[in-house]
Structures are given as C-alpha cells and as structure tokens.
Amino acid sequence: MKSAKNPAPSASDAPEIHADWLELRALESADQNSSIQDLVQVIRRSGTTDALPGVDDVESSLDRGSEKSQGIAEDAFGEIEDRFSSCGGDNGTYPFVVSSQNIQLKITSPTAYLFLLLLSRFGKDAGPNSMDGAKLFEEVSIEAALSYFGGSASEIGTYHFGAPRRSPNPADFVSALNELCRNLGEGVACRTERPNLADQKDAKLDLAVWRPFSDRRYGKLIGFGQCATGNDWPGKLGELQPGPFCEMWMQDVPSVHPVRLFFVPFRVDKRRWMDYSRRSGIVFDRCRIAFHTKIISDAVEKKCRKWIDFVQRKYIKK
C-alpha cells in the first residue's frame, strides 16, 4: 500500500532516501514492520527502474528492472544495518529491531532518532504551534555535544546561542555574547563597535560547548556549532567560521580557536563525508546525534516525545 504521507521513492534516489522510506513505512504500518520486499514492490510499481543504466530496451526492461529493484532494496537495507551499527548496535539508540529482511519498531523506542527522522521528513514546522522544531533540534544537538565532549560528569559547559533566544538567555546579540564570554571564561565581552550590530541574530552560531580544566585558566577545548534542519543544509556547510567570528565579535580572541561542529537531522551520505567534514568541521548527522543522546535530559526528552506524538498523529497514523 502506498501512502501520500510516505510517497514512493524513485529507483534513482540514494540509499539514504530508501532507508528513510523503510523506517517511515514501519511507523505507518499496523504491525510497525517494513521489509526489503516492501521496498522492492513499491519501486517496481513506480516504473522508475526503466530510466536506470542497463535498462535500455523493452524486451529486457522487465527482467533487468526486477533485478535492479532487488539490488536497490538490498543497498537500502545495507544502509539500515549501517545505521543500526552507527547508533551503537544492540545496546544503542536505533529504534528498530533489525533482522535479515525487515525492521520492527521497538516497543520502547529511543526518542531522539524518531524526532530526527520525522523532522528531516516533515520539516521544522510540522509539530505543535507552540513548539519550534528548529529550536528543539538545537536543544537536542546541545545534548549530543555535551555527551561528545565528556558529559555532565566532566563539568562540560554549554550555551544555547541561536536566535530567537528565549528566557533565561538574553534576547539581544550583545547581551547573549557577553554572557557566553562570562560562562566560557574567555573572550571578555562583545565588541560593540562592530558594524551592523543591530542586524545580528546569531552570526551563524547556534550553540557553544567547552571542556574546562580544574585550574580554570585560558586554553581549553571549545566547540562552536551550527544547526541546519532544512533540505538546503548542504548550502550552509562552512558558513560558521569560529576564528573569524571570535575576531569579529569578541574583545579578546580565545587562546585556542573553537572547533567547528555541524548538526543535521538527516543521514549523511558516507561517500561525501570527508568533503563535508573538511567544509564544516565535525559533522553530527542523525545517527551520531542519536548515539550521543542515549542519556538525555528529562526536559528535552519530554519535548521530543510531545513533538513526535503530534507529528505521528498528523502525518503518520491512519
């Protein structure tokens, strides 16, 4: 059965798209299961294998199209297995049980992965009117960054800088940067003589994370992160430049420039991973974020669950 809420993918789509379809198919199915054969059938019905290389005449298109459909589905399932591994395997955060031919939604599903999946498919505005999906994604990303830098037990500091800012953080750029510098213990304060200051929102900086030493001296591991939720995210690679940001806006540049972090709710094509990392720094895709939110704050967990439940009722459930 084909659903307009989870439209049939094209044969030419990437394995990541096909794997997303399988995951969404499991969410919408009565038995919360999807299989390789589900994907084979929907691709065959779409007729899009005819346009693939090697399917070039009427006489052979049926047989070759069938072979192509099976191969495409197997590639997608290979991506599913890689997601399972990337999320930590049996004791990880992948919300589906993976067998040789199908996936089954777990009875108790880890929250972050499903939030990221639905966010990437339906967009930041799909949730309740009272909730901003993009801001919630930034909160989830902060949780992942906190874990990656060592967790709360290591006294990791974080700051949610992205605009629009909400209480208790200051609303304006200058006050927010001043507070970040105070918390960070570096940078002193915002350089208010900078041009176009009134137009600044976040200058591409959405979050900061740092790991202090017990001596509280200068020179520490700092991360500056940017979050992107839209399908245009590849165009944002490299927008955040921590060194120039600090030189432009801080009175005193941190003694060690922050490393770049880039967060997306999508599954990133591993063939492009090196290029994306060179352009944007440390990439956190859906699986990396999910893996590092195995332990998540109760407040963020509750928000994610509310967002997921709303989107499932609106877009997934029959």
Q: What is the mean pLDDT of residues 194-202?
A: 66
Q: Does the pLDDT at position 152 exceed 90?
A: no
Radius of gyration of the chain (CA): 22
Phi, psi at 82, each rounded to 5°: -70, -35
Q: What is the pLDDT of residue 49?
A: 62
Q: What is the pLDDT of residue 272?
A: 95
Q: What is the pLDDT of residue 80?
A: 98
Q: What is the pLDDT of residue 3?
A: 46
Q: Does the pLDDT at position 199 exceed 80?
A: no
How many of the other CB atoms lie within 10 Å of CB of 300?
18
**pLDDT grade for 57, boundaries at 50, 70 and 90:** low
Q: What is the pLDDT of residue 1?
A: 37
Q: Does the pLDDT at position 296 exceed 70?
A: yes
Q: Does the pLDDT at position 40 exceed 70?
A: yes
Q: What is the pLDDT of residue 109?
A: 82
Q: Does the pLDDT at position 211 exceed 80?
A: yes
Contacts for 89 with CB less than 8 Å, ≥ 6 apart: none
Q: Which domains are present in the chain?
A: 15-109 (no CATH), 129-314 (3.40.1350)
Q: Does the pLDDT at position 153 exceed 70?
A: yes
**pLDDT above 90 covers what percent of the chain?**
76
The residue among 55, 221, 20 whose CA lies nearest residue 8 is: 20
Q: Does the pLDDT at position 62 exceed 50?
A: no
Residue whose entry in the numeric block shows the structure tokens 């591409």: 204
Dmax of the chain from CA atoms?
76
In angstroms, rounded to a whole number, what is the distance separating the alpha carbons of residues 205 and 296? 22
Q: How far is CA 115 from the centre of its chain?
A: 9
Pairing of strands 207-211, 157-160: antiparallel
Spell out the alpha helix ranges (H) of the chain: 15-28, 36-46, 58-86, 111-122, 133-148, 173-184, 242-249, 273-280, 286-291, 298-311
Q: Is the pTM of this model over 0.95?
A: no
**Per-residue model confidence as pLDDT tens digits over 7-23:** 889 999 999 999 999 99
Q: What angle do CA 9, 271, 15 make, to 5 degrees?
A: 20
Q: Which pair of tokens denotes residue 205?
A: 């900086």
Instruction: Give the CA dihedral 115, 132, 263, 93, nearest 10 degrees.
Output: -20
**pLDDT grade for 63, boundaries at 50, 70 and 90:** very low
> Contact at 8 Å (CB) between 225 and 160?
no
**Helix and strand totals (H; E) in the chain:** 10, 8
**pLDDT grade for 148, boundaries at 50, 70 and 90:** very high
Which of these ranges, 95-109, 166-180, 237-251, has the smallest mean pLDDT? 166-180
The amino acid present at 234, given as its one-letter code, is P
Q: What is the pLDDT of residue 197?
A: 63
Q: What is the mean pLDDT of residues 100-126?
A: 95
> Contact at 8 Å (CB) between 159 and 183?
yes
End-to-end Cα separation, the chain, in angstroms? 12
Which of these ranges, 23-27, 107-111, 196-200, 306-310, has the smallest mean pLDDT? 196-200
